[in-house]
């Protein structure tokens, strides 16, 4: 491999690390702003990704005890971030869904970030953007897989 390419690889590594660190920091700052615990954030992510879930399913997926999910849902409802709705198929159980209107505290910061990134896009031509888009998508897949290989709280 050419030394030029090696230099590029190093730049990519360090840039990727910097972006990852910034993303983690940004997310935790937004979460702290809303007074969310790590479990709360994880739950919100699970609900968003796997659609309306019952309290029990959320307990399984999050690795929390059912009793803990009750408390967690109370926190999220109090903050207006999620809602319990009756399950039409089983009146014992509860479906949990996101309340997007409750995200108004976080929204502005995401919008602000989005605007600035769109400005960054302008310094690239279409072909370059397509290249970047492919990289982002595939890197995301890789990192997601890597995360899922890390033994979680349940295993």
> Which residues lie near DNA (CB under 7 A)?
37-39, 54-57, 59, 63-75, 84, 87, 90-94
- Rounded Cα distance, 90 and 104, in Å: 32
Min dist. Cβ of residue 81 to DNA (A): 13
* Residue 78 sits in the site that holds a copy of itself (CB under 8 A): no
DSSP 3-state percent helix, strand, coil across the chain (nearest 5) = 70, 10, 20
Place of tokens 């910097």: 18
- Please report whether residue 126 would count as binding a copy of itself according to CB under 8 A: yes
Binder to a copy of itself among 38, 89, 101, 104 (CB under 8 A)? 38
Is 87:96 a contact under the CB 8 Å cutoff?
Answer: no
* 109 touches a copy of itself (CB under 8 A): yes
Type and span of the H or E element at 84? strand 82-86
Sheet containing 94-98, strands listed edge to edge, beginning at the edge strand earlier in sequence: 53-54, 94-98, 82-86
Largest CA distance in the chain: 66
Least distance in Å: CB of 92 to a copy of itself? 31
Under rule CB under 8 A, residue 114 binds a copy of itself:
yes
Asked if 153 is part of the footprint of a copy of itself (rule: CB under 8 A), the reply reads: yes
Q: Which two tokens stand for residue 47?
A: 């609900």
Interacting residues toward a copy of itself by CB under 8 A: 4-5, 8-9, 11-13, 15-16, 18-30, 32-33, 38, 42, 45, 109, 112-114, 116-118, 120-121, 124, 126, 128-133, 135-147, 149-153
């Amino acid at each position: 491999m050419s030394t030029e390419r090696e230099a590029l690889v190093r730049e990519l590594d360090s840039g990727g690390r910097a972006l990852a660190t910034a993303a983690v920091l940004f997310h935790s700052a937004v979460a702290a702003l809303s007074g969310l615990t790590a479990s709360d954030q994880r739950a919100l992510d699970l609900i968003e990704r796997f659609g309306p879930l019952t309290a029990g399913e959320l307990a399984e997926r999050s690795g929390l005890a059912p009793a803990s999910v009750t408390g967690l849902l109370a926190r999220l409802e109090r903050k207006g971030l999620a809602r319990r709705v009756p399950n039409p198929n089983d009146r014992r159980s509860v479906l949990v869904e996101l309340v997007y209107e409750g995200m108004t505290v976080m929204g502005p910061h995401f919008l602000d970030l989005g605007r600035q990134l769109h400005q960054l896009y302008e310094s690239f031509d279409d072909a370059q953007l397509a290249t970047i888009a492919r990289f982002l998508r595939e890197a995301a897949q890789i990192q997601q897989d890597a995360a899922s290989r890390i033994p979680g709280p349940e295993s």
